[in-house]
Amino acid sequence: MAIANPAFAPYGLAAEQVLKGFSVWESLQAKLVRGENIAQAYQFFYSGNVSMAYVAKSQVQKRSLPESVCVAVVSAEQHQPIVQKAVVLKRADGKVAMDEFLHFFETKVVRSILERYGYLAGSS
């Protein structure tokens, strides 16, 4: 099973929490492949190097995965929230384009898209 490294990847920490919740964390230690991030964990799975992976919902939606692939959505209540953040560089702070871009993420349309892909609190 591939997961992002829990030491520095939020999705890896969530995977650890879910697996501990199912009481399988300890028994899986020798079988876990830790990617540097969630994208690498997905690549391990997609390439066929592992048979299972804990990845982001957005990585498996609208992808052409083989019919034999089973996708299970983990409930957000099974791990601590994964907080997504935006960073504004000092040289862009207060610029009109940056302000408009950040406000764009608060529109109903964008929030609907983010929710569909599992990126808003309370969504799976």
Enclosing domain of residue 108? 84-124
Pair (17, 67) in one structural domain: yes
Of residues 39, 51, 6, the one with CA closest to residue 25: 6
Q: What is the pLDDT of residue 74?
A: 85
Are 50 and 108 found together in one domain?
A: no
Task: Name the residue type at position 77.
Answer: E
Q: Indicate if 12 and 71 belong to the same structural domain.
A: yes
Least Cα distance to 76 among 25, 28, 18, 20 occurs for 18
Amino acid, single-letter form, for residue 84 = Q
Domain count, the chain: 2
**CATH number of the domain where residue 37 is located:** 3.40.190.10
Residue-wise pLDDT tens digits, 6-19 = 999 999 999 999 99
**Same domain for 68 and 20:** yes
Is the same domain home to 53 and 96? no
Same domain for 69 and 115? no
Is the pLDDT assigned to residue 5 strictly greater than 90? yes
Please write the tens of the pLDDT for every residue from 32-90: 999 999 999 999 998 989 999 999 888 887 667 777 788 888 888 899 888 877 888 99
